[in-house]
Chains A and B, each alone.
Chain A
Amino acid sequence: MEQSATINGIIADLAQIAADPGRYASGWKARREGRVVGILPMNFPPEIVHAAGALPVLMQEDDAAITYGRSLLHEFYCGYTRSLVDQAATGKLAGYDGLFLVDHCVALLGAVDAVRFELPEMPVYLAQFMASMDEPTTRPQVGEQIAALRQRLGELCGVSISDAAIQHSIAAYNRNRGLLRKVYDLRRRGRIALGSRQMQVLIKSSMVMDVEEHTAILTKLVALFEAYPQVPEGQVRLHLSGHFCHAPRPELLDMIESCGVTVVDDDVFTGYRYIATDVPDGPDPVEALTQWYFDRNSNVPCSTRAQKTVDWEGYLVDSLKGSGAQGVVVLIAKFCEPHMLYYPELRKALHREGIPHLVVETEHEGLALEMLKTRVEALVEGIRRPRIATAQALA
């Protein structure tokens, strides 16, 4: 019990940081006298910011209702982009020394342009990575953009970013991702009873914290997990899929698990998608970060990239086989175009494989949890029933 309390205490501390990254960043800034750089999902390499001696903070959706941001971005944008703009409009980005992005999502670009308009003094830099992974022109273009990022971040932080510094940062982030993957592995194997809310805290905190500090905490936590395994209580094993860029609401995750469910795996951005891929070894760190961009999409395909040779649905079906998940909850952030476009391909594959699934659209302003609960219960019942029928037949 004492170990369990220790684990819960560590996760509660991380949860506070994940819930208010700005506060953590201000504290870090005061302690370290360094720059704080906001980075945007989903493909930004935090290593390059870390190598400049700055704190990369992957910008999170804020819980606050959208107010002033409404006058800068239409209501038919996803909750993440609307929240980002609202945070800018309500003075919550004051502690950030710059905002950097590499992704080309049309909604995200509109939102960041609105932030730039609202905060004209804040350095905002787009190093757009081409999203078509098949054409030979993309790889050199991405390399050039990473080199440009290196230059611009060096100017912002008043340093020259050396190869050795980037390699040091790559090693630090690989270590952190490796530990988080270890937690995922324990979870898939049923060795820890770690809820989705807690899993999300581990990932979100890694997105906003000093990587070395986070790794030190995680090392302790993993040791506790390994020393004191716990068996999850839920009966039906599910996989959470989708939800790009920002985290699904913890209360939604709690509700799903309250229906007799253990979430054993996911491919959400604030989940396995974020930590699945390490930056490869190599003498040229810019080349290594370029390769990482391509490897990420090969490892966990994403419909924001255009690549003929990988399929998200194939990855999903295979990962279910690996984790033993019996069904999927597809979480679509409302107005997320790449997810809406690709969902029918996922659906086709899940139907073909006989895998039950449920689609849940999430919104920034509230969730009809009771109604959603009925739908999750129906999914769970549908999964249980054949098993009950089989057990009765065998008896």
Chain B
Amino acid sequence: MSVITEATKPGQARTAPNANRLVSTRAGGKLVKDYWDNLFTARDRGATVVWYNGAAINPILQAAGVEWCHGEAFGARLAAMHLEQPAQLAGEAYGYINELCSYARTTLGCALLTKQEATAKIEMDGLPGVPDKEVLASRLPPPDLFVNAYAGCSTGQQWDEVSYRVFDKELPFFKVSYPLLWGNRPDAGYLRGEEWDNASKFVASQLHGLIEFLEHQTGNRFDWEGLRESMHYIKRAAQLRIEALELCKARPTPAVFWDWVASIAPINFLPGNQALVDYFAAVKAEIEDRLRDGVSSLPNERYRLAFDGIMNWNKVGWLANKFAEHDAAVVCGRYTHNSFWHEPQLIDEDDPILGMAQHYLLCPFNHSARNLAEQVLRDCETYGIDGIVFHATRTCRSATNGQLLLAKMAQARGMQTMFFEGDVADESFYKDEVLQNRLEAMLETIDVQRGR
């Protein structure tokens, strides 16, 4: 066993092999950078800008002829680039407490900086060194409209309500509401039962309302053919992504969870077009090449783990290497495998609204624990998982709901589980020693279990 027993500190040189990450995902990084760089110039180009949070309603926005800014995605990008501080400082100066959702704190901080840039009037307690336009956090174009479409998290809805107020309650604002997939009735379950059917229709009707709202606000006739076309590409990209995920049933796995994390942004908010399909085709092709050539993600895969919870964006690379050092391949995860157009068969390309509504409902945080277990434990079986790593995401109650229950259900099936503390976009909550110790303990237990 190649486990390193001394805790390695952030910044120190590593003594064990890093994860052999996919090369093809780098192209996604460029697509995403280009997307944001283009968005930053939206106002200069006279485009209408929608700020939205939650579900991937971007195909609707695309067909409405507007440009879109997904708040969480930008918050995640800042955290992944370690550039979240100016936004979080602005939020703190405005009065947000640090136990508040760090996505919300970060993107509301961006809203404050954007508004300050646009109007030079915002009420904050002496913010030291207010960033100028060169700081990434202050570069979002001011919104013309707000749309909230947040499933599974009351905070997600309330945060846009506050964004609307930060911009003086002057901008048009539409909200899509979702029932939690709770399961009151005995027939309720994943993709089945009367509650699922009713919830799907309820959300679909709101999407039609959103389209009317966008037509009214922009004066543009909604491009239904454009929506069908972008959903055609998204469906194809989603199918390729699912096929590629399934190739990772192989032992050793050719790609890991961290590769799929790198592919979240493209599937979550990039335009539905041929470039998106090409990206996932390339990812799948690289995995096929690896399988053919006998190249694995880890040089010595010894353990196969699942990751539960939302991503710790500050630590993607760090965590990828941390697990690789322990010969632990994180093969699947709720955030990557049970999200982002992951049931493409639901999309009817000719009439995509219902299938879109269903995907929005299938947000991985919009389920009861029972529903979650059905999906996560199924994946554990599919991918041959030895243990589940739970990211106890300090400021994200939607991601942590049900985790302790899920752990008990997994343990009942003989699986090992561990929790580590961290956060989605606030580095201060991450404790490396806790992860190190608990990971080692879990891996040792798996060894003992195997030896019996």
List A residues at the B interface (Cβ < 8 Å): 71-74, 76-77, 104-107, 109-110, 113-114, 116-117, 125-126, 128, 130-132, 134-138, 141, 152, 303-304, 306-308, 332, 334-335, 337-338, 340-345, 347-348, 351, 361
Chain A residues near B164 (CB, 8 Å)?
308
Decide if B169 touches A343 in the complex (CB within 8 Å).
no
Query: Hey, which chain A residues are within 8 Å of B123, CB to CB?
Result: 348, 351
Interface residues of B in 377-426 (CB under 8 A from A): 392, 394-395, 397-398, 400-405, 408
Contacts of B161 in A (CB 8 A): 303, 306-308
CA distance A337 to B164 in the complex (A): 17
Cβ-neighbour of B182 out of A114, A126, A306 (below 8 A): A126
Q: Mark B343-374, 1 if CB is under 8 A from A, else 0.
A: 00000000000000000000000001100000
**Cα A73 to Cα B404 with chains together (Å):** 6
**B401's contact among A106, A308, A335, A343, by CB below 8 Å, is which?**
A106
B173 touches A308 (CB 8 A): yes
Q: Shortest CB–CB separation between residue B56 and chain A, in angstroms?
A: 19
Instruction: Tell me if A304 and B400 are in contact (CB < 8 A).
Output: no
| Cα–Cα, bound, A347→B161 (Å) | 16
Q: Is the CB of B392 within 8 A of A74?
A: yes
Q: Is B148 in contact with chain A by the CB < 8 A criterion?
A: yes
Interface residues of B in 148-202 (CB under 8 A from A): 148, 152-155, 157-162, 164-165, 169, 173-175, 177, 179-180, 182, 184, 202
Which B residues are in CB contact (< 8 Å) with A104? 154, 180
CB distance from A169 to the nearest CB of B (A): 23
Alpha-carbon distance A116/B123, docked complex (angstroms): 44
| Nearest Cβ on chain A to B311's Cβ, whole angstroms | 18
With an 8 A cutoff between CB atoms, is B435 at the interface? no
Contacts A104-B180, A106-B152, A348-B123; is A303 near B158 (CB within 8 Å)?
yes
Subset of 9 A-B contacts with CB under 8 Å: A107-B401, A117-B369, A126-B184, A132-B157, A136-B209, A337-B154, A338-B158, A341-B104, A341-B158
With the chains together, A227 CA to B184 CA distance in Å? 51
B99 at the interface (CB under 8 A from A): yes
A304 near B394 with CB under 8 A, answer no
Closest-by-CB residue of B relative to A72 is B404
Q: Which B residues are in CB contact (< 8 Å) with A334? A: 99
Judged by a CB distance under 8 angstroms, whether B95 is at the interface is yes
- What is the CB-to-nearest-CB distance from A76 to chain B, in angstroms, rounded to a whole number? 6
Q: Contacts A74-B403, A114-B404, A132-B177 hold; do A338 and B155 have CB atoms under 8 A apart?
A: yes
Residues of A within 8 A of B394 (CB): 76
Given A72-B405, A117-B405, A343-B97, A337:B175 Cβ within 8 A: no
A342 touches B158 (CB 8 A): yes
Q: Say whether B177 contacts A114, CB under 8 Å.
A: no
Q: Is the CB of B400 within 8 A of A345?
A: no
Name the one of A110, A113, A130, A347 contacting B95, with C-beta atoms under 8 angstroms.
Answer: A347
Task: Say whether, besides A106-B152, A340-B97, A308 and B169 are in contact (CB < 8 Å).
Answer: yes
A337 CA / B150 CA spacing, docked (Å): 15
CA distance in complex: A351, B95 (Å): 12
Query: How many whole Å from B384's CB to the nearest CB in chain A?
Result: 26
* Complexed CA–CA distance, A152 and B161 (Å): 33
CB-CB under 8 A from A72, the residues of chain B are: 404-405
Q: Which of B184, B202, B209, B369 is in CB contact (< 8 Å) with A113?
A: B369
Q: Is the pair B158, A304 in contact by a Cβ cutoff of 8 Å? A: yes
- B101 at interface by CB-CB < 8 Å: yes
B155 CB contact (under 8 Å) in A73, A337, A343: A337
Q: Please list the 10 inter-chain residue pairs (A to B) with the smallest Cβ-Cβ separation, ordered nearest first.
A: A110-B401, A344-B95, A132-B175, A340-B100, A130-B177, A337-B155, A306-B161, A106-B397, A126-B182, A117-B405
Minimum CB–CB distance from A254 to chain B (whole Å) comes to 25
> A135 to B177, alpha carbons, bound, how many Å?
9
Measured CB to CB, the nearest residue on chain B to A104 is: B154
How far is B247's CA from A129's CA once the two chains are assembled, in angstroms? 42
With contacts A337-B101, A340-B96 taken as known, whether A131 is within 8 angstroms of B369 at the C-beta atoms is: no
CB–CB B175/A306 < 8 A: yes
| Contacts known (A304-B158, A340-B99, A345-B162); A134 close to B202, Cβ less than 8 A | no
B169 touches A128 (CB 8 A): no
Contacts of B392 in A (CB 8 A): 74, 76
Residues of B within 8 A of A340 (CB): 96-97, 99-100
| Chain A residues within an 8 Å CB radius of B402 | 110, 113-114
Pairwise interchain contact A306-B95, C-beta atoms closer than 8 A: no
Known: A106-B154, A304-B154. Contact between A128 and B182, CB under 8 A?
yes
Known: A77-B397, A135-B177. A335 touches B99 (CB 8 A): yes
A303 to B157, CA, bound (A): 10
Chain B residues with Cβ under 8 A from A347's Cβ? Answer: 95
Q: What is the bound-complex CA distance between A126 and B162, given in angstroms?
A: 26
- Tell me, rounded to whole Å, the shortest Cβ–Cβ distance linking B406 to chain A: 10
A186–chain B nearest beta-carbon distance, Å: 35
Q: Does B94 contact A (CB under 8 A)?
A: yes
Is B404 touching A74 in the complex (CB atoms < 8 A)?
yes
CA distance A107 to B179 in the complex (A): 15
Please report the C-alpha to C-alpha distance between residue A387 and residue B169 in the assembled complex, in whole angstroms. Answer: 36
